Amino acid sequence: MMALIQKEIRNNVGIITLDNPKKLNTLSEEMVNDIIKALDEFSAKRLPVVVLKATDGVKVWSAGHDVKELPRKMRDPLSYYDSLERVLRAVEQYLGPVIAVVHGSVWGGACDLTMTCDMVIADDTASFAMTPAKMGVPYNLTGILHFMNRLPLNIAKEMFFTASPLLAKRAQELGIINHLVPEKELLDFTLDIAKTIMSRSQLSVEVIKEQFRILSKAFPISPADFERVQGLRRKVYDSHDYEEAITAFLEKRPPHFNGQ
Amino acid sequence: MMALIQKEIRNNVGIITLDNPKKLNTLSEEMVNDIIKALDEFSAKRLPVVVLKATDGVKVWSAGHDVKELPRKMRDPLSYYDSLERVLRAVEQYLGPVIAVVHGSVWGGACDLTMTCDMVIADDTASFAMTPAKMGVPYNLTGILHFMNRLPLNIAKEMFFTASPLLAKRAQELGIINHLVPEKELLDFTLDIAKTIMSRSQLSVEVIKEQFRILSKAFPISPADFERVQGLRRKVYDSHDYEEAITAFLEKRPPHFNGQ
Amino acid sequence: MMALIQKEIRNNVGIITLDNPKKLNTLSEEMVNDIIKALDEFSAKRLPVVVLKATDGVKVWSAGHDVKELPRKMRDPLSYYDSLERVLRAVEQYLGPVIAVVHGSVWGGACDLTMTCDMVIADDTASFAMTPAKMGVPYNLTGILHFMNRLPLNIAKEMFFTASPLLAKRAQELGIINHLVPEKELLDFTLDIAKTIMSRSQLSVEVIKEQFRILSKAFPISPADFERVQGLRRKVYDSHDYEEAITAFLEKRPPHFNGQ
Amino acid sequence: MMALIQKEIRNNVGIITLDNPKKLNTLSEEMVNDIIKALDEFSAKRLPVVVLKATDGVKVWSAGHDVKELPRKMRDPLSYYDSLERVLRAVEQYLGPVIAVVHGSVWGGACDLTMTCDMVIADDTASFAMTPAKMGVPYNLTGILHFMNRLPLNIAKEMFFTASPLLAKRAQELGIINHLVPEKELLDFTLDIAKTIMSRSQLSVEVIKEQFRILSKAFPISPADFERVQGLRRKVYDSHDYEEAITAFLEKRPPHFNGQ
Amino acid sequence: MMALIQKEIRNNVGIITLDNPKKLNTLSEEMVNDIIKALDEFSAKRLPVVVLKATDGVKVWSAGHDVKELPRKMRDPLSYYDSLERVLRAVEQYLGPVIAVVHGSVWGGACDLTMTCDMVIADDTASFAMTPAKMGVPYNLTGILHFMNRLPLNIAKEMFFTASPLLAKRAQELGIINHLVPEKELLDFTLDIAKTIMSRSQLSVEVIKEQFRILSKAFPISPADFERVQGLRRKVYDSHDYEEAITAFLEKRPPHFNGQ
Amino acid sequence: MMALIQKEIRNNVGIITLDNPKKLNTLSEEMVNDIIKALDEFSAKRLPVVVLKATDGVKVWSAGHDVKELPRKMRDPLSYYDSLERVLRAVEQYLGPVIAVVHGSVWGGACDLTMTCDMVIADDTASFAMTPAKMGVPYNLTGILHFMNRLPLNIAKEMFFTASPLLAKRAQELGIINHLVPEKELLDFTLDIAKTIMSRSQLSVEVIKEQFRILSKAFPISPADFERVQGLRRKVYDSHDYEEAITAFLEKRPPHFNGQ
Ligand code: NI
Ligand code: NI
Ligand code: NI
């Protein structure tokens, strides 16, 4: 069968290309497993930097979660061992920087994936939409933190509440895009940054990445608060509207939410 | 239909008596709702102290959760809005001290309930068994904290790992029983303590109880750690062994665990 | 007597208009109570989005705290149950997004109020001044966090240390204004965003707002550190300068601070 | 004027003797200042161990706070810079162990003081009563933590809710008395322990004491939770009952609490 | 060469016996590696319970760290990857309960090891001495927490400050010994407890152990506080006294500490 | 000998000028001590605002740590009592705002110093490079937090991973420069801001600065997580690459890193 991603090593930089454009590079379990496997291989070779991109020229960098794979009602759609969560952790735990190179629109779980990457290089077609409220999904706390660590609270909220795309220029101004470059220069520009990083002490970069990871998660809350959040989230994924959103999406019609 | 609890107000002390001895005072949803309702009534009258006891002379103070009401596989049996969790919070949030008076054995969720009460007065028939490992249940963090706030770590672990009863004398020595008194004096002794408390400033007692509540929950962990715990717990309640334990209990036979 | 606010429901969006321009829309206890009451009514109807604006065309969106209502020396001016704190919590705890629409200058407690709203839509007359240091007030920790969750630390400090207004253009660049739009389009633009939000799953939006609330407060410190902060703050509100600031303000003259 | 304490250095051990038996060794501001001064002197000499005792043979080791010095209504009676808080911190921050030697009864703030000492050696006349609820005082969080770090939660609550004395034998069993020895041997026994400690590495003991201090305070809570606790406490010290308790005490009559 | 430990599987219980009595079962790097290897093997077989004991009849269960292996001055003797720390983590992370069976005296790092085990079964020859202050060692925070999770603060401090042994009877009373049994019955009694544990749901026990592990470490402090502690600890291991303690020990003479 | 800094008081504003341009204003221990001494003097006079600048017209504001003073292998180069850490704390703990005025490039420890200042005023020659990865240094957690409190996570990471300078315009856009002004106006503009601050209540400003300090450090992590980070950092400063980086720097040649 066709590979869903391409992987390559160029000048010691690992390059992963999402390559299932017909399915809008949906983060299906299969594609996620391919990405994780590639990261494991690069890690075994201790490649200092990884680039995560999509096939050149696609309109949609990735459409996020494969809705067909979302659990039906009564089950948490963002559980710790679900595929999206596993790939986010794989990126966070990769030994060196993972740089997202973004051309086109990024949706939902894929948006969380780019926010989990250590840096984002994009061109002006890039846009970022955080879509759980479209799908009736109660998002998880760690995912929300990815946005709070990058954006003013009110901007992060707007992304989640509206599910509207944040366009490249504003994203660059706010800083979630590190560099906005012309489409043609995207990869070369990124590889130049990778080259700079690789001229530094890899040991030092590795431990600093780990320190950022730990600090960016240091928003501790009491078990009582967490269990309450989990109880609230369960009410959402037990709801009519969660089921309706998935059904409507698969039937390619707008959902009829009733707030219950 | 027959009431599952008795409630009474004596000298301004609210008294709740678990009174379903045929069902071993199982904390069924119905009984839990009755307890919460009684606490609400006492709270509306702002009774300074509540006593929680069982019918005189029973062998089993309460057998804990009603196993018939536990969710089948694939659902968290200790979710935030489940009946046991609701009654534990009702006790913790009652405006004044709730004192458990214990004669007989206390099992599982009822054991957590007595540990959630502000004080425990018992006679020498009392014993406390923490039984989730018998039922294949992954316990929740807030419940485990109730024990860690009272017992050396190694004793709390023994209770959970063995599910064996901790007997009255050892429980008193370790301090989880405030006072060990003869069966006949249980209630009078307790009402004397209540009387002492009621001679103090109710306002002061109320805020101090709330401070204890907040500090006893102040074991904050990161959302990442919590989501991992929740993922591990889900593996348990999705398991064969969880289903088998419930089935076996209802069929009154020992479970055949296979560790999966 | 005249109402201090106007309230309206348009296409299921709750609209609150501060409407006491003669008093510069000061957040007096009376106005605060009106806002909270309106939010309660909207909440009872479960309106998914609320808009908080001022009378059209005012120069001052709101001048913040009513200085006449500040406690004299020896009392904490930002205690938990004071009116400003109550309205901030009412906004944070409103079930859906509350969007501030800002034309004109915003001062002190009103500035904190806009930063507590989930989003801010403004025109180019908007400016935001954080004025406690002008009034000799020791601010509270939760209020400071509202700014830290939105701004680089050095910018938030400048706002508090100088009490100078942050102008619309810079506020938009830094991200505390979500959208900068022409005055005439302010409300329509905002209602369009509300419409988008209302096309999403209300259940999902509600729980995500609650998750943001909890995470944005997850800066835990030890009771010892907090009691020290409270002790330091008490020295400030016991000081000559605090008393002098209030007196000077009411006498419409500049304060004579002596640093004690 | 007469000194309120005696201080002495014996074999390099600093010894502080509370010596105002007519006033029941009340922790008046003056006595507190004397204790702190003695600790400062011992610290300047870097004495490795300090012993804190009362005049031999007194019935009351110390009666705690001087009620006459408690602030009237509208002011926090346990503020960070109040005398009791200052002496507790002085003990916690003393460079080496401070050992309380207890003969007789210990009340209120003095009870907190002994719990703040690093160790307690007592004879069988010792008893410990935690009395804020008698005086209508809302206790502070750090003070409550001193008890939670030593006792099962239900025992600590009983002490605060009843204000009844915990007697020597039970205190020893529960572990808040390190050693129970005959009255005659109290000081020699304690000096023997001091001698053992002084045979160890002072540097190591000093840093370990500091580590214990930090960890015993590591119950972090969010600023929002703390400000709520402070708001609740303020309601108590603004109340009729707080004022009444102080008045009644000074008039040597029982208080008439009305719960408001 | 002779093995330093014996390992055995009896009725599915893994048994590790420290067996280097000539060296007082010192926790040398070699012995630690053997223990970790045994735990790994038992883990690969998913043995539900492990017993950790010493050769029958020894006077010293284990003398703790091998002083010869302690780093000289200028290096942290309790760094994360040092052998003692590795074995403590291996026990904490073992998938099921690890039960220490103690006959004889336990010193220093071995004392920490028994406190890290999930339960302790001992006979009346058992004693527990925490000796870092004897060796001039600045202990680490995680190690101190093992004691704070089990003992009243003042008792834990006495252990560290005096380095004196806590005897079996008091240890049992305080709860750090789960059961005190006659020497002859030590192993059978322990295997009976293991049998009970193995009749429970292994999945449930595993996740509950992990929950205890996470909660028992939930004493978060700020990076600033930690870096300060580390700075203080470095002063100690850079000191004359640390070097002197090691030299004196190896020369079998008492150390001459000068507090510097 | 020549002073390394100039200090001056102008209109009650303390001004410190780094003045060792031949050594690129390296933050040598001597210069650090001079800065701390100046801050102490200004603090003794309770100057409300301090300005920290470099000699006019230098190309390099400061080159950061003096590499010659970095410890060789086997010692933490960023320990709590090292000179850089001491000066960062002195700035954070200064009683009023410390404003950095930046003309020219800022490297490494000096970059951390400007991020630790309360505000930054710069001209368009300013640039900020975070260089530990160039020197093989494992940075410390508190230092990383200075950047996380000001910048989107991905931008902070780019600074550390690439060690490339962030230029004035982008720095201003992202907000870490408060104001970008022409070189000639740098000081006057800054003194104007100082004047505004000094017209506010100094008491209020002081306590608010302290509150910002505490909240900006409120990223608590467990001792276990911290000790792991410290263990990882130790691997880096024990490495070949750390030693090589220092040697290469002193020999004025590029380092040959091998990742070990
Ligand atoms: Ni149960
Ligand atoms: Ni105000
Ligand atoms: Ni050791």
Q: Which residues surround ligand 2, an ion (CB under 5 A)?
A: C 64-65, 108-109
* Cα F234 to Cα F230: distance, rounded to the nearest angstrom: 6
The percentage of chain B sitting over the pLDDT mark of 70, rounded to a whole number, equals 99
Alpha-carbon distance F223 to nearest alpha carbon in chain A (angstroms) = 12
Instruction: Tell whether A210 is covered by a domain.
Output: no
pLDDT at F74: 92
Q: What are phi and psi of C149, to 5 degrees?
A: -80, -5
Counting the structural domains of chain A, the total is: 1
What is the dihedral sign for C-alpha D84, D89, D92, D93? negative
pLDDT, averaged across chain B: 97
Instruction: Tell whether A215 is covered by a domain.
Output: no
Instruction: Tell whether E50 is covered by a domain.
Output: yes
pLDDT of A1 higher than 70: no
Alpha-carbon distance D125 to nearest alpha carbon in chain F (angstroms) = 40
Partner residue opposite A79 with nearest CB, options B140, B220, B234: B234
Distance of CA E201 to the CA centre of its chain: 27
* Cα E231 to Cα F56: distance, rounded to the nearest angstrom: 36
Asked if C133 and F208 touch (Cβ cutoff 8 Å), the reply is yes
pLDDT of B42 higher than 90: yes
pLDDT of D181 higher than 70: yes
Q: Give residue-wise pLDDT tens across range F33-57.
A: 999 999 999 999 999 999 999 999 9
**Residue for token pair 């939010």:** C39
Distance of CA E10 to the CA centre of its chain: 23
* Cα E219 to Cα E215: distance, rounded to the nearest angstrom: 8
Strand-pair category, C127-129 with C166-167: antiparallel
* Cα F197 to Cα D250: distance, rounded to the nearest angstrom: 48
Q: Give residue-wise pLDDT tens across range E190-233.
A: 999 999 999 999 999 999 999 999 999 999 999 999 999 999 99
Q: What are phi and psi of C193, to 5 degrees?
A: -65, -40
Can you tell me the mean pLDDT for B109-124?
98
Partner residue opposite A221 with nearest CB, options B145, B223, B231: B223
Query: In sequence order, what DSSP letters do the residues of D55-89 get, joined into one string?
Result: STT-SEEE--B-GGGS--TTS-TT-TTSHHHHHHH
Q: How many CB atoms lie within 10 A of CB E243?
A: 16
pLDDT at B3: 86
Instruction: Tell whether A238 is covered by a domain.
Output: no
pLDDT-derived band at E73 (thresholds 50, 70, 90) equals confident
Please give the C-alpha separations between residue A36 and each of A84, A85, C42, D84, in angstroms, as whole numbers: 11, 11, 47, 58
Contacts of C94 (CB under 8 A, 6+ apart): C39, C42, C43, C50
Between the CA of E108 and the centroid of ligand 3 the distance, in Å, is 5
pLDDT at F1: 53
pLDDT at C34: 98
Nearest to F149 by CA among F122, F167, F176: F176
Nearest to C87 by CA among C58, C66, C60: C66
pLDDT-derived band at C3 (thresholds 50, 70, 90) equals confident
pLDDT of D1 higher than 60: no
pLDDT of B124 higher than 90: yes
pLDDT of E1 higher than 90: no
Question: Residue F60: helix, strand or coil by DSSP?
Answer: strand
pLDDT-derived band at B1 (thresholds 50, 70, 90) equals low
Please give the C-alpha separations between residue A252 and each of A65, A137, A255, C209, F89, in angstroms, as whole numbers: 16, 18, 9, 28, 59
The residues of B carrying an active-site annotation are 65, 109, 139
User: Residues of C with CB below 8 A from E222's CB?
Assistant: 221
Can you tell me the mean pLDDT for B242-246?
95
What is the DSSP secondary structure assignment for residue D147, as one 8-state letter? H
Can you tell me the mean pLDDT for D23-39?
97
Q: What are phi and psi of C168, to 5 degrees?
A: -55, -45
pLDDT of D218 higher than 90: yes
Instruction: Tell whether A40 is covered by a domain.
Output: yes
Binding-site residues on chain A for chain E (CB distance < 8 A): 215, 218, 220, 223
Contacts of D246 (CB under 8 A, 6+ apart): D67, D70, D72, D135, D136
Q: What are phi and psi of D88, to 5 degrees?
A: -60, -45
User: Residues of D with CB below 8 A from B92's CB?
Assistant: none
* Cα D89 to Cα D67: distance, rounded to the nearest angstrom: 20
Nearest to E230 by CA among E79, E108, E69, E82: E79
pLDDT at D120: 98
pLDDT at E72: 84
Nearest to E28 by CA among E80, E66, E56: E66
Radius of gyration over every alpha carbon of chain E, rounded to an integer in angstroms: 18
Asked if D94 and D14 touch (Cβ cutoff 8 Å), the reply is no
What is the DSSP secondary structure assignment for residue F259, as one 8-state letter? -
Do the chains contact at D79 and C223, CB–CB below 8 Å? no
pLDDT at A35: 98
Can you tell me the mean pLDDT for A194-221?
98
Axis-axis angle for helices E153-162, D186-198 (nearest 10): 60
pLDDT of D2 higher than 80: no
Instruction: Tell whether F260 is covered by a domain.
Output: no
pLDDT of A73 higher than 90: no
pLDDT of C1 higher than 70: no
Q: What are phi and psi of B167, to 5 degrees?
A: -85, 160
pLDDT at F218: 98
Q: Give residue-wise pLDDT tens across range D232-247.
A: 999 999 999 999 999 9
Instruction: Tell whether A97 is covered by a domain.
Output: yes
- Domain residues for the domain of A153 are 5-182
Radius of gyration over every alpha carbon of chain B, rounded to an integer in angstroms: 18
Largest CA distance in chain E: 56
Instruction: Tell whether D125 is covered by a domain.
Output: yes
Continuous H helices in B14-152: 29-44, 83-93, 108-116, 141-148
The percentage of chain C sitting over the pLDDT mark of 90, rounded to a whole number, equals 97
D37: domain CATH number is 3.90.226.10
Binding-site residues on chain B for chain F (CB distance < 8 A): 220-222
Q: What are phi and psi of D10, to 5 degrees?
A: -125, 120
**Residue for token pair 């969380």:** A112
Can you tell me the mean pLDDT for C230-235?
97
CA-based end-to-end distance of chain F: 42
The percentage of chain C sitting over the pLDDT mark of 70, rounded to a whole number, equals 99
What pLDDT tens digit does each residue of chain F (260 aa) get? 568 999 999 999 999 999 999 999 999 999 999 999 999 999 999 999 999 999 999 999 999 999 999 998 899 999 999 999 999 999 999 999 999 999 999 999 999 999 999 999 999 999 999 999 999 999 999 999 999 999 999 999 999 999 999 999 999 999 999 999 999 999 999 999 999 999 999 999 999 999 999 999 999 999 999 999 999 999 999 999 999 999 999 999 999 999 98
Do the chains contact at A227 and B74, CB–CB below 8 Å? no
The predicted complex's ipTM stands at 0.97
Do the chains contact at B197 and D157, CB–CB below 8 Å? no
Which residue among F14, F96, F109, F143 is the active-site one? F109
Q: Give residue-wise pLDDT tens across range E7-24.
A: 999 999 999 999 999 999
